[in-house]
Amino acid sequence: MSTIAAQKAALRTKMKAIRKAAFEANQDLDAADIAQDIADAFEDLNVVAFEGRPLAATYLSVGDEFPTIALNKALRAKGFDLCVPCHDDKTGDYFWARLEGPLTEGPHGIPQPAEPKPVEPEEINLALVPGLAFDCMGNRLGHGAGIYDRLLQPLADETEALIMGLAFSDQLIEEIPEEDHDIAMCVVITEEGVFDPADMED
């Protein structure tokens, strides 16, 4: 195991406990306020005009992830269409699919569309990304499988989508060991508001 991989593994153990405690302490999050923060950040930061029905790549939270059930509902009310990660049983890869119709259980107990309608990266205007931790450069610490790195790479390379982290404020830390394949967030949104990585250094 490389030095960076070992550092990340140790940090994951620490941040799992921190995220669990933060989840338990934030049972009364106001989804409407957070949805408004997302809409405001999209309009303020994305170079693409905010018009029509923008498409947000979101996720269906499980366990102690930053909760999205009420948040996704609030985003729809604000004019967003939604898509989520979906597992392809044949290839083992993940792709974005519209959040429509009945759901089925995917790997790790994560819900996903039962009859997925794939979404091309260029259709996505913003992506809401969970994580174990985010740092002052916008770097993200995930669970180590690289699923989101692969999902977000086309958005970062080929589109002008706004990539936003969703986390509890206790998950914001000073530094995460960085690797070439890591995708940085444009902003991170917590229960306390919007944090621009450029401002988080203070």
Residues 25-61 as b or e (16 or more Cβ within 10 Å = b): ebeebebeebbebbbebbeeebeeeeeeebbbbbbbb
Smallest CA-to-CA distance from 115 within 93, 99, 126, 131 is with 99
Closest alpha carbon to 126 in 29, 46, 60: 46
Q: How far is CA 186 from CA 82, 103, 156, 158, in A?
A: 19, 30, 10, 15
pLDDT at 73 over 90: yes
pLDDT at position 42, please?
Answer: 77
Summarize pLDDT for 23-56 with one digit per residue, the tens: 999 999 999 999 888 888 877 765 455 566 889 9
CA-closest candidate to residue 143, choices 8, 22, 6: 8
Q: What is the pTM of this model?
A: 0.90
Whether the per-residue pLDDT at 201 is higher than 80: the answer is no
Q: Which fold has domain 3-100+114-164+184-197?
A: Rossmann fold (3.40.50)
Question: Is the torsion defined by CA of 125, 73, 128, 174 positive or negative?
Answer: positive
pLDDT given for residue 44 in this prediction: 73
Contact indicator for 60, 84 with CB cutoff of 8 Å: yes
Work out the percent of the chain whose per-residue pLDDT is above 70: 93
Give the residue from 186, 142, 178, 162 showing the smallest Cα distance to 16. 142
pLDDT by residue (tens digit) across 173-195? 999 998 888 899 999 999 999 98
Distance CA 187, CA 74 (A): 19
Average pLDDT over residues 57-64: 96
Q: What are phi and psi of 172, to 5 degrees?
A: -85, 120
With cut-offs at 50, 70 and 90, classify the pLDDT of residue 125: very high
pLDDT at residue 172 in the model: 95
What pLDDT score was predicted for residue 51? 62
